[in-house]
């Protein structure tokens, strides 16, 4: 006998499950709609090769928005105008600067925002503008590309000066200088024994002088001791003479 299926219970489960899915979708959609974005223009004066629509906009490395549109600047084909949508509340200030960056070895470009000090005023729409304009500065690759010709010129000039330095006359002068230095070094090496003997003699003389000085000090000490003894003897003779004189005076008749 086949079991009976409660179709009412199955239908109720399907309805509840579908309602839960719809509610979750609406909740997610409402949450995403609550996140608002502010629109800005960024004018780039270099190639934006590798930068695509929906490329991330980062503020100090944190993704805060996306590049919504890439186009040539109206009236100035030498510039590229980026329309960026940046999360509301991101501190975009008057001194905030945009730069093109490249992610690792992939070559995928993005927009990096930097600056924006705490004391700076918020960026506002200028006269005749549809959206506030974030200033830009050349990327590292652009600066390298602009300075490369100057670098090549400096290398060429340095090579030319080096060739002039190493011409025949200068090479001969440098060779002569090196030969003189070699001769002086050789002479100093030959005179090493003589210098060593002179230094040894000077050391011996200093030691003898030190010993003689020590002996002289002892002699002077002995002379000083002898002089003191003679002085004491003279004092005793004087005392004896004085006592004898008084005795003679006392024993002489009136």
Reading the chain (254 residues) residue by residue, the pLDDT tens digits are 445 556 676 677 777 777 778 877 666 655 545 689 999 999 999 988 889 999 999 999 999 999 999 999 998 988 999 999 999 999 999 999 999 998 877 778 999 999 888 889 999 998 988 999 999 998 876 666 556 577 677 777 777 777 776 666 667 777 778 887 888 777 777 777 776 777 777 778 888 777 777 767 777 777 777 777 777 777 777 787 777 777 767 666 55
Contacts of 100 (CB under 8 A, 6+ apart): 44, 46, 48, 51, 109, 110, 111, 112, 139, 142
- Give the whole-angstrom CA distance, residue 127 versus residue 117: 24
Domain-wise residue ranges, the chain: 35-137, 139-190, 206-244
- Give the whole-angstrom CA distance, residue 181 versus residue 195: 20
- pLDDT at position 102, please? 87
| Inter-CA distances, 58 with 63, 64, 99, 112, 208, Å | 4, 5, 10, 5, 84
- Give the whole-angstrom CA distance, residue 93 versus residue 237: 112
Tokens of 95: 């001194």
- pLDDT at position 121, please? 93
- pLDDT at position 142, please? 61
pTM confidence score: 0.49
Give backbone dihedrals phi and psi of 74, rounded to 5 degrees, phi first: -60, 125
């Amino acid at each position: 006998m086949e079991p009976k299926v409660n179709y009412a219970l199955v239908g109720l489960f399907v309805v509840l499950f579908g309602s839960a899915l719809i509610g979750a979708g609406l909740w997610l959609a409402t949450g995403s709609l609550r996140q608002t974005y502010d629109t800005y223009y960024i004018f780039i004066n270099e190639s934006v090769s590798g930068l695509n629509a929906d490329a991330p906009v980062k503020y100090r490395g944190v993704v805060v928005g996306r590049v919504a549109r890439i186009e040539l600047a109206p009236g100035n084909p030498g510039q590229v105008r980026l329309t960026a949508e940046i999360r509301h509340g991101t501190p975009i200030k008057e001194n905030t600067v945009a730069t093109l960056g490249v992610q690792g070895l992939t070559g995928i470009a993005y927009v990096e925002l930097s600056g924006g000090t705490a004391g700076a005023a918020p960026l506002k729409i200028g006269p005749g503008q549809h959206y506030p304009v974030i200033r830009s500065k050349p990327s590292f690759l652009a600066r390298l590309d602009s300075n490369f010709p100057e670098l090549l010129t400096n290398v060429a000039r340095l090579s030319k000066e080096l060739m002039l330095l190493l011409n025949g006359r200068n090479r001969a002068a440098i060779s002569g200088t090196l030969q003189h230095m070699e001769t002086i070094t050789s002479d100093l090496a030959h005179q090493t024994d003589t210098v060593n003997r002179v230094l040894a003699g000077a050391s011996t003389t200093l030691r003898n002088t030190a010993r003689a000085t020590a002996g002289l000090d002892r002699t002077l000490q002995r002379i000083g001791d002898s002089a003191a003894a003679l002085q004491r003897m003279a004092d005793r003779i004087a005392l004896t003479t004085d006592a004898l004189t008084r005795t003679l005076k006392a024993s002489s008749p009136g």
